[in-house]
Amino acid sequence: MNLTVTEENYIKSIFHLQQAEGNVSTNELAASLHTKPASVTDMLKKLTNKNLLNYIPYQGVRLTKDGKKQALMIVRKHRLWEFFLVDKLQFGWDEVHEVAEELEHVSSKKLVEKLDSFLGHPKFDPHGDPIPDIHGNMVAVRQFNLIDIKPGTLVEVCSVGSQSAELLELLRHKNIGISTEMLIMKKFEFDHSVEIKIKNSQHINISQQLAQALFVKLV
Protein backbone atom coordinates (compact mmCIF):
# COMPACT_ATOMS: atom_id res chain seq x y z
CA MET A 1 0.00 0.00 0.00
CA ASN A 2 1.47 3.32 -1.07
CA LEU A 3 0.53 6.42 0.88
CA THR A 4 0.94 10.07 -0.04
CA VAL A 5 2.93 12.36 2.24
CA THR A 6 -0.35 13.86 3.46
CA GLU A 7 -1.85 10.48 4.26
CA GLU A 8 1.29 9.52 6.13
CA ASN A 9 1.07 12.67 8.22
CA TYR A 10 -2.54 11.90 9.16
CA ILE A 11 -1.62 8.34 10.16
CA LYS A 12 1.30 9.57 12.22
CA SER A 13 -0.75 12.20 14.04
CA ILE A 14 -3.50 9.73 14.85
CA PHE A 15 -0.89 7.33 16.18
CA HIS A 16 0.61 9.90 18.53
CA LEU A 17 -2.77 11.19 19.70
CA GLN A 18 -4.22 7.76 20.39
CA GLN A 19 -1.20 6.92 22.59
CA ALA A 20 -2.24 9.72 24.95
CA GLU A 21 -6.00 9.20 24.89
CA GLY A 22 -8.34 6.58 23.54
CA ASN A 23 -10.29 7.61 20.47
CA VAL A 24 -9.02 10.59 18.52
CA SER A 25 -11.49 13.37 17.73
CA THR A 26 -11.79 15.31 14.50
CA ASN A 27 -11.01 18.58 16.27
CA GLU A 28 -7.87 17.29 17.93
CA LEU A 29 -6.61 16.02 14.63
CA ALA A 30 -7.38 19.29 12.89
CA ALA A 31 -5.42 21.18 15.56
CA SER A 32 -2.48 18.80 15.41
CA LEU A 33 -2.28 18.97 11.62
CA HIS A 34 -2.94 22.72 11.35
CA THR A 35 -5.91 22.10 9.14
CA LYS A 36 -9.68 22.45 9.44
CA PRO A 37 -12.13 19.86 10.83
CA ALA A 38 -13.94 19.63 7.50
CA SER A 39 -10.74 18.62 5.77
CA VAL A 40 -10.08 16.02 8.42
CA THR A 41 -13.48 14.40 7.92
CA ASP A 42 -12.77 13.96 4.22
CA MET A 43 -9.43 12.35 4.85
CA LEU A 44 -10.81 10.06 7.56
CA LYS A 45 -13.25 8.63 5.03
CA LYS A 46 -10.48 8.10 2.56
CA LEU A 47 -8.19 6.34 5.02
CA THR A 48 -11.09 4.22 6.25
CA ASN A 49 -11.63 2.99 2.70
CA LYS A 50 -7.98 1.96 2.67
CA ASN A 51 -8.55 -0.05 5.86
CA LEU A 52 -6.14 2.00 7.89
CA LEU A 53 -8.72 3.42 10.30
CA ASN A 54 -11.82 2.41 12.19
CA TYR A 55 -13.98 5.47 11.87
CA ILE A 56 -17.58 5.93 12.97
CA PRO A 57 -19.04 9.38 12.23
CA TYR A 58 -19.19 11.57 15.36
CA GLN A 59 -17.34 8.90 17.36
CA GLY A 60 -13.72 9.63 16.61
CA VAL A 61 -11.19 7.31 15.15
CA ARG A 62 -8.56 4.63 15.91
CA LEU A 63 -5.93 2.99 13.74
CA THR A 64 -6.49 -0.55 12.52
CA LYS A 65 -3.70 -3.11 12.90
CA ASP A 66 -2.60 -2.16 9.40
CA GLY A 67 -2.70 1.54 10.16
CA LYS A 68 -0.67 1.06 13.31
CA LYS A 69 1.98 -0.85 11.41
CA GLN A 70 2.22 1.96 8.86
CA ALA A 71 2.49 4.49 11.70
CA LEU A 72 5.25 2.57 13.42
CA MET A 73 7.29 2.45 10.23
CA ILE A 74 6.97 6.21 9.79
CA VAL A 75 7.98 6.79 13.41
CA ARG A 76 10.89 4.39 12.91
CA LYS A 77 12.12 6.40 9.94
CA HIS A 78 11.64 9.72 11.71
CA ARG A 79 13.65 8.68 14.74
CA LEU A 80 16.40 6.96 12.79
CA TRP A 81 16.91 10.09 10.73
CA GLU A 82 16.96 12.22 13.88
CA PHE A 83 19.65 9.96 15.28
CA PHE A 84 21.62 10.28 12.04
CA LEU A 85 21.38 14.06 12.03
CA VAL A 86 22.66 14.38 15.60
CA ASP A 87 25.16 11.54 15.65
CA LYS A 88 26.69 11.84 12.20
CA LEU A 89 25.96 15.36 10.95
CA GLN A 90 26.44 17.16 14.27
CA PHE A 91 23.04 18.80 14.37
CA GLY A 92 21.83 19.93 17.80
CA TRP A 93 19.14 17.60 19.18
CA ASP A 94 16.75 20.56 19.28
CA GLU A 95 16.98 21.36 15.56
CA VAL A 96 16.44 17.98 13.94
CA HIS A 97 12.68 17.59 14.12
CA GLU A 98 11.76 19.71 11.08
CA VAL A 99 14.33 18.03 8.86
CA ALA A 100 13.26 14.55 9.99
CA GLU A 101 9.66 15.47 9.12
CA GLU A 102 10.78 15.57 5.51
CA LEU A 103 13.19 12.65 5.54
CA GLU A 104 10.62 10.31 7.11
CA HIS A 105 8.63 10.33 3.86
CA VAL A 106 11.40 8.92 1.70
CA SER A 107 9.99 5.56 0.76
CA SER A 108 12.84 3.10 0.13
CA LYS A 109 12.69 0.24 2.62
CA LYS A 110 16.24 -0.74 1.78
CA LEU A 111 17.37 2.75 2.71
CA VAL A 112 15.82 2.49 6.17
CA GLU A 113 17.43 -0.84 6.93
CA LYS A 114 20.85 0.19 5.64
CA LEU A 115 20.64 3.41 7.62
CA ASP A 116 19.72 1.43 10.73
CA SER A 117 22.81 -0.78 10.29
CA PHE A 118 25.05 2.19 9.56
CA LEU A 119 23.91 3.85 12.81
CA GLY A 120 24.50 0.69 14.84
CA HIS A 121 20.84 -0.19 15.44
CA PRO A 122 20.16 2.59 17.91
CA LYS A 123 17.29 2.00 20.37
CA PHE A 124 16.53 5.64 21.17
CA ASP A 125 16.45 8.87 19.26
CA PRO A 126 18.21 12.03 20.49
CA HIS A 127 15.13 13.00 22.52
CA GLY A 128 15.09 9.66 24.34
CA ASP A 129 12.08 8.30 22.46
CA PRO A 130 12.36 4.64 21.52
CA ILE A 131 12.97 3.70 17.87
CA PRO A 132 10.63 0.89 16.69
CA ASP A 133 12.49 -2.02 15.13
CA ILE A 134 11.69 -3.46 11.70
CA HIS A 135 8.75 -5.38 13.20
CA GLY A 136 7.36 -2.35 15.00
CA ASN A 137 8.52 -3.41 18.45
CA MET A 138 9.94 -0.88 20.84
CA VAL A 139 10.73 -0.27 24.47
CA ALA A 140 7.73 1.03 26.38
CA VAL A 141 9.15 3.15 29.21
CA ARG A 142 9.67 6.85 28.60
CA GLN A 143 13.35 7.56 28.73
CA PHE A 144 15.30 10.77 29.07
CA ASN A 145 18.59 11.99 27.86
CA LEU A 146 20.96 12.35 30.82
CA ILE A 147 21.77 15.85 29.68
CA ASP A 148 18.18 16.94 30.32
CA ILE A 149 17.90 15.74 33.93
CA LYS A 150 17.73 18.29 36.76
CA PRO A 151 20.33 18.11 39.55
CA GLY A 152 19.05 16.22 42.60
CA THR A 153 17.30 13.54 40.53
CA LEU A 154 18.01 9.85 41.00
CA VAL A 155 18.00 7.95 37.71
CA GLU A 156 18.85 4.54 36.29
CA VAL A 157 20.62 3.89 33.00
CA CYS A 158 18.32 2.13 30.54
CA SER A 159 20.20 2.23 27.30
CA VAL A 160 23.05 3.82 25.45
CA GLY A 161 22.77 5.75 22.23
CA SER A 162 24.73 3.35 20.07
CA GLN A 163 26.95 0.29 20.20
CA SER A 164 30.14 1.92 18.98
CA ALA A 165 33.36 0.46 20.36
CA GLU A 166 34.58 3.89 21.47
CA LEU A 167 31.46 4.55 23.51
CA LEU A 168 31.53 1.12 25.13
CA GLU A 169 35.20 1.53 26.07
CA LEU A 170 34.48 4.81 27.84
CA LEU A 171 31.50 3.37 29.69
CA ARG A 172 33.52 0.40 30.90
CA HIS A 173 36.24 2.74 32.10
CA LYS A 174 33.75 4.83 34.07
CA ASN A 175 32.01 1.73 35.39
CA ILE A 176 28.69 2.70 33.89
CA GLY A 177 26.35 0.10 32.42
CA ILE A 178 22.70 -0.72 31.93
CA SER A 179 20.76 -0.36 35.22
CA THR A 180 23.52 1.61 36.92
CA GLU A 181 21.84 4.03 39.36
CA MET A 182 23.20 7.54 39.60
CA LEU A 183 22.35 10.77 41.36
CA ILE A 184 22.67 13.92 39.29
CA MET A 185 24.73 16.39 41.35
CA LYS A 186 25.46 19.44 39.22
CA LYS A 187 25.46 20.70 35.67
CA PHE A 188 28.14 23.02 34.31
CA GLU A 189 27.11 25.68 31.85
CA PHE A 190 30.58 26.12 30.41
CA ASP A 191 31.00 22.75 28.74
CA HIS A 192 27.56 21.22 29.44
CA SER A 193 29.20 18.49 31.47
CA VAL A 194 27.35 16.80 34.32
CA GLU A 195 28.63 15.73 37.73
CA ILE A 196 27.08 12.50 38.97
CA LYS A 197 27.45 10.15 41.93
CA ILE A 198 27.17 6.41 41.56
CA LYS A 199 26.18 4.47 44.70
CA ASN A 200 29.19 3.64 46.94
CA SER A 201 31.50 5.56 44.68
CA GLN A 202 33.03 9.00 44.23
CA HIS A 203 31.66 11.91 42.24
CA ILE A 204 32.58 11.70 38.58
CA ASN A 205 32.17 14.04 35.65
CA ILE A 206 30.37 13.14 32.45
CA SER A 207 31.10 15.09 29.27
CA GLN A 208 28.35 16.58 27.11
CA GLN A 209 28.99 14.00 24.42
CA LEU A 210 28.69 11.11 26.84
CA ALA A 211 25.64 12.56 28.59
CA GLN A 212 23.88 12.78 25.22
CA ALA A 213 24.53 9.10 24.64
CA LEU A 214 23.04 7.96 27.95
CA PHE A 215 19.32 7.29 28.31
CA VAL A 216 17.89 6.99 31.80
CA LYS A 217 14.57 6.55 33.54
CA LEU A 218 13.47 8.13 36.79
CA VAL A 219 13.74 5.82 39.80
Partner DNA sequence: TAAATTATTTAGATTTGTCTAAAAATAATT
Partner DNA sequence: AATTATTTTTAGACAAATCTAAATAATTTA
Q: How far is CA 5 from the centre of its chain?
A: 20
Interface mask toward a copy of itself for 59-98; x: CB under 8 A: --------------------------x--xxxx---x--x
- Please state whether 200 falls in left (phi above 0), alpha (psi between -120 and 50) or beta: left
Cα 187 to Cα 206: distance, rounded to the nearest angstrom: 10
Examine residue 140 and tell whether it contacts DNA (CB under 7 A).
no
Interface residues for DNA in 53-72 (CB under 7 A)?
Answer: 55, 57-60
Residues in the chain: 219
Choose among 202, 201, 203: nearest CA to 193.
203
Q: How many residues bind a copy of itself (CB under 8 A)?
A: 19
Query: Is 163 an interacting residue with respect to a copy of itself (CB under 8 A)?
Result: no
Q: Choose between 36 and 88: whose C-beta lies nearer to a copy of itself.
A: 88
Distance of CA 82 to the CA centre of its chain: 8
Tell me if 20 contacts DNA by CB under 7 A: no
Shortest spacing between CB 150 and a copy of itself, in angstroms: 30
Q: E strand or H helix at 184, and its extent?
A: strand 181-187
Q: Which residues bind a copy of itself (CB under 8 A)?
A: 85, 88-91, 95, 98-99, 102-103, 106-108, 110-111, 114-115, 117-118
